[in-house]
Amino acid sequence: MFLSCISQLDKLIEKTEHEYLESELPSDLSRAESMLEEHKRKKQEISHLINYTADEGEKIVVRVRQTVRQTFDFFMFFFT
């Protein structure tokens, strides 16, 4: 799940960067406001995905720590 989140985040950022590089500067206020709203929406979408990915990464860290602790306890029980 974590790796798919990283991949999805990477693709979304690349797509967004490409869209911004390809877009023309607005020539009127209405278009500028529309682009600003789109930018805010994309920022929120990317921020949400970053937070979700960070949460998934934290879950992995917690599981690894638990496994290391259980392994250590196992060896201490049998070899001390």
Please check whether residue 67 lies inside any domain of the structure: yes
The residues, ordered by sequence, that sit 6+ positions from 45 with a Cβ below 8 Å of its Cβ are 12
Please check whether residue 70 lies inside any domain of the structure: yes
Report d(CA 73, CA 43) in Å as an integer: 45
Lowest mean pLDDT among 50-54, 65-69, 72-76: 72-76
Range of the domain at 75: 54-80
Please check whether residue 61 lies inside any domain of the structure: yes
Per the structure, how many domains does the chain have?
1
Please check whether residue 58 lies inside any domain of the structure: yes
- Quick one: what percent of the chain has pLDDT higher than 70? 100
Report d(CA 60, CA 46) in Å as an integer: 21
Output the pLDDT for position 77: 83
* Mean pLDDT for the stretch of residues 22-43: 95
Report d(CA 35, CA 20) in Å as an integer: 10
Please check whether residue 69 lies inside any domain of the structure: yes
